[in-house]
Homo-oligomer: A and B are copies of this chain.
């Protein structure tokens, strides 16, 4: 992979990392309402996906994909403001973390009922096909979603109708506290795709170079009209469960120190003489500074106008107010 692309991926990863770290800090301060799921530890997956999609594609982000929303092209401050529930957010603060859509960049929003979007993505893929566009619909789902009936309904229909759907399965090993292998017939989720004879691969989701290469290939395949593609990204989330950490110390060490996505990318670039530490530090510093401006923007933004509470329930019809 050429050096510039890797550097660009690295910057993208930092956008995810810095965004989530800033967000988490503000959440702890009480500035972010609701619940918080972060993409920390999964930066490489998000950078790889962002690297392969174009604005006319559709993507359905999962609950940890805040960084991806920014990488897709929405100004960071508008995503941050949405998560703060502010008027300046992409959905005027009505969606929040789990529902931050921005059609202008192909962001179709999350749906907090895990798996639901797998069905929605079929429709986008089908419509694009009917409209003779060569765009695709990517849907990002966690390993936990593999239990849902919609998983099956979606994969089956996408395969049968050869729809341009990219399944990005982020296998971070757990659904909240439950290990993927404890609740599914296999812990290697790409194997599920065998039932549908669907193209399917597993990739190291912490190795951004590999993840980006595989994602690009899958996107290529889909654009050629060959039907859907399933990618399982093996990764690990830093966030434990709400009440704290529950995973073994050695597992934590492996993923947060040894097989950590930033470190792997840095090692790769240094080894391949793509960049030195100074350049990489500068990228990090630049991104972090930028994220702070987004947080400031979000903090300083006003809450939504109260009339928004009853707006857009129905298209064209008003609902009763108090």
Interface on A for B, CB 8 Å cutoff?
A: 146-153, 155-156, 159-160, 182-186, 191-198
A250–B178 alpha-carbon span in the complex (Å): 53
With known contacts A149-B149, A149-B152, A150-B149, A186–B191 Cβ distance under 8 A: no
Within the complex, what minimum Cβ distance (angstroms) separates A294 from chain B?
39
Q: Which of B148, B159, B185, B198 contacts A159 (CB 8 A)?
A: B185
Hey, which chain B residues are within 8 Å of A198, CB to CB? 185
With known contacts A148-B153, A149-B148, A191–B195 Cβ distance under 8 A: yes
Hey, which chain B residues are within 8 Å of A146, CB to CB? 156
A106–B240 alpha-carbon span in the complex (Å): 45
Hey, which chain B residues are within 8 Å of A155, CB to CB? 185
A41–B83 alpha-carbon span in the complex (Å): 60
Q: Which of B149, B156, B184, B191 contacts A185 (CB 8 A)?
A: B156
Hey, which chain B residues are within 8 Å of A196, CB to CB? 185-186
Within the complex, what minimum Cβ distance (angstroms) separates A238 from chain B?
27
A184–B156 alpha-carbon span in the complex (Å): 6
A101–B147 alpha-carbon span in the complex (Å): 30
A186–B193 alpha-carbon span in the complex (Å): 12
Interface centre among A148, A152, A184, A198 (most CB of B within 10 A): A152
A104–B191 alpha-carbon span in the complex (Å): 41
A194–B191 alpha-carbon span in the complex (Å): 9
Q: Which 9 A-B pairs have the closest CB atoms?
A: A149-B149, A152-B152, A195-B195, A185-B196, A159-B185, A192-B195, A149-B153, A194-B194, A160-B185
A150–B151 alpha-carbon span in the complex (Å): 10
Contacting pair B184 A160 (CB below 8 A): yes
* Chain B residue with the shortest CB-CB distance to A181: B160
A193–B186 alpha-carbon span in the complex (Å): 12
Hey, which chain B residues are within 8 Å of A184, CB to CB? 156, 160
Within the complex, what minimum Cβ distance (angstroms) separates A153 from chain B?
5
Contacting pair A153 B160 (CB below 8 A): no
A193–B185 alpha-carbon span in the complex (Å): 10
A156–B145 alpha-carbon span in the complex (Å): 12
Contacting pair A186 B194 (CB below 8 A): no
Hey, which chain B residues are within 8 Å of A148, CB to CB? 149, 152-153
Hey, which chain B residues are within 8 Å of A153, CB to CB? 147-149, 152
